Structures are given as C-alpha cells and as structure tokens.
Amino acid sequence: MIREALKGGKGEVIRNPKVFIDPLSVFTDIPFREDIIREAAIAVRYFVKNDVKFSNLFLGLTGTGKTFVVKYIYNEIEEVKKEDQDYSGVRQVYLNSREVGGTPQAVLSVIAERLTNSFVPRHGVNLGEYIDKIKSVLKGKKAIVYLDEVDTLVKRRGGDIVLYQLLRADADVSVIMISNDINVRDYMEPRVLSSLGPSVIFKPYDAVQLKEILAKYANYGLIDGTYNDEILSYIAAISAREHGDARKAVNLLFRSAQLASGIGFIKKEHVDKAIIEYEQERLFEAIKSLPFHYKLALRAIVMADDVVTAHKIYSRYCDKLKQKPLSYRRFSDIVSELDMFGIVKIKIMNRGRAGGIRKYVEVQDKEKIVKALEENLTEEMGYEYDEKPDMETG
C-alpha cells in the first residue's frame, strides 16, 4: 500500500500540488481583483518614475485576497526590475505585523533589517534610530513596505507612531497596509489619518466567483475527470456562507482531493470530512500560536463568564505554576485580542448604577479549546498539565 502511495498513479486525483501550496508560482492573474491590481500598479509607477509617494490601506475580511494580491504585486515588481531600469533601485519589504511580534520596535527593526540586509536589534533602540537606519540605506533609492495585519500594530500603545514615522519620513518610502479589521482607522490618530491615502475595500467573494476560482485551481491542480461541477458548487456554497472566504474554499478542495487519493474521484463525503478537519485544525493552530500567558488566560476564560472572574482564576493558575500574573488591565487587553482573533466573543453589559459596566466573554467549542490548551500547555511546560487550579471560582 505504501508503495502505491509513493509511486502514485492508480486512483490519483492531484496532478500538481504546487498549485495549492504556492499558487503565485503558477497563476499569472488573479480573478475578480484586476481593477485593484491595476490601480495599485499605477500608484507604484507614479512612485518609481515620478517620485509621487503613496500609502494605501487594503481592507477586507479573511480570504478576500488581500495578501494574495500584495504578494502578486511584489513578485511582478521583481520581474519588472529585469526589464525596466527605473525599477532597479526599488527595494521591497513584506512583513506580517503579528508574526514579528506586533510591537513598534519589532516592526521597525524588521523593516530596517530587511532593507539593510544586516542584523538590527529589537530592544534598546529608539524608534527614531530605526527610521534613521532606513533613511540612510535609501539615499537615492526607493522602498515599498507591505505591512500585513497592520491592525495588530496600531492597536498596541504607540503603534500608529510607526505608520506616522514611515509616512512622514524624509525618504522615498511608500506603504501598503493590510487589515482584516475594516474599522482599523478608528485606532489611528488624526495626524496618521491625514498622511494616509485611500482605503481599498476587498469585497467578499460570492458563490459564483468562488466556484470560478475553484475551477481555476482544479483545472491546473487536479486530474481531469476526478471532480465534477457539483463538487465545486458545494464547496463554493459552503465558503460563501462564511463571508466569501476563498482561502477556505481552496483549502477544502485540496484536502478533499487528498482524501480522495486512491479512489480517483472527489465525493461529497470527502468534502464533509475536510470541513470537520479544517475547523479543528484552524482552532488548534490559532491556540498553538498564542503566547504562554494568552493560553493561561484563555483557559481561565473557559471557566468563567466575565473578565473579572477570569482574571482571578488566571492569577491562581499563575500562582500554582509559579508564574508572575499579568495585571488586570493587561489581562483585559489579552481578552480583547482573543476576541479580535475570533477565539472568544466579548459582550459589554451595563447593569445600571448599582451593577456598573461588566465585560462578559462567550466561548464556543469549549471542549475543543480545552483539549488544544491541554496539549499545548503540557508540551510547553514539559510535564503533565493539571487543568484545575485548586480554588473556588466564585
């Protein structure tokens, strides 16, 4: 059986897995985003050839193509460098604000590091020094900076200072920012907003558009005759219900094809199994990526209804694990970030003069979250994690 899997052939469904893993290496266009790409390309051309700096904010829900479009633009600029001398001095930096830490120091240090191709410390350096490094390396050159998940940055204290310094720096720097939070502008100071260019809205894909996108992936990545129109429509309809998430649609098609390997045809049962796996994996990966105290906070939240009670439980967890607990204010910030990640849902209730305002937290899939937390916390601490801190929750 293993030899059949190694060699492939009989009952195979996937022709080219690279289509699903690295689509930008295969596709030469992005459907339903042509106008956005063209407008961005014109802005880049004016910047490179006419010294007109720009700053755009790409807004849209998860899976609407923001990052895909940005990476496509990035790659195309690198190709144009080979054909147009004006672009030869253009440097590009793409970074995900959340993945590098989200702090002003972390974001600016990574930008400076990638532009200078040298190590730049993330601590003990004034923000202005990072900007000076960027300015010094860009003398006579231009840079385009792509800041993904920029909401992670601007929601931190002083985060929008990074944007202000980049946008107002005495250097040829243009910026494209990406956010899943369509209200991210609300977190920016007026001086930042005045320097910011227009927002570009990525509308969710509908079922018809998603089906066309899936057909494109299937045509390039799957073997003819291993799928039908009904399967593509089924996956498209499911993904359209969840704010038109193309990323989920493509992942479901790929996983369904993997499950059908050896059978030779994708069936509805393969898609249904892929959906269950996808939801479980997405939740597990989201929890796995959380810092240690975020995991402890989430474990406490599962046991409580409101943030005040959750913080008490969290503090007792810390005492038991010989960890210094974070302040209530910082804990409350963490709960807000978990809400932003979609792991919990905050509800603010005003109980009047006597009860005051209280922040409540709703958690779905509690059993799955607890299981994921137990596995992760046990792994991080190096011994069996005891889920119950000896305490009263009231």
Is position 65 annotated in a ligand binding site? yes
Cα–Cα distance for residue pair 39/93, rounded to 1 Å: 20
Is position 68 annotated in a ligand binding site? yes
Cα–Cα distance for residue pair 88/106, rounded to 1 Å: 28
Helix (H, G, I), strand (E, B) or coil at 102: coil
Is position 67 annotated in a ligand binding site? yes
Is position 205 annotated in a ligand binding site? yes
User: How many of the other CB atoms lie within 10 Å of CB of 180?
Assistant: 22
Cα–Cα distance for residue pair 246/41, rounded to 1 Å: 23
Q: Where are the alpha helices (DSSP H) in the chain?
A: 2-7, 18-21, 34-50, 66-80, 104-116, 127-137, 150-154, 159-168, 190-193, 207-221, 229-241, 246-259, 268-288, 292-302, 307-320, 328-340, 352-355, 366-381
Contact status, residue 202 vs residue 244, Cβ threshold 8 Å: no
| Tokens representing residue 280 in the block | 């479980």
Is position 74 annotated in a ligand binding site? no
Q: Angle, to 10 degrees, between the axis of helix 366-381 and the axis of helix 268-288?
A: 50
Q: CA triplet 329, 179, 161: central angle to 5 degrees?
A: 60
Long-range contacts of 152-155 (CB under 8 A, 24+ apart): 152/97, 152/98, 152/102, 153/97, 153/102, 153/103, 153/104, 153/107, 154/184, 154/187, 154/188, 155/187, 155/337, 155/340
Binding-site residue positions = 64-68, 205
Binding-site residue positions for ATP = 64-68, 205
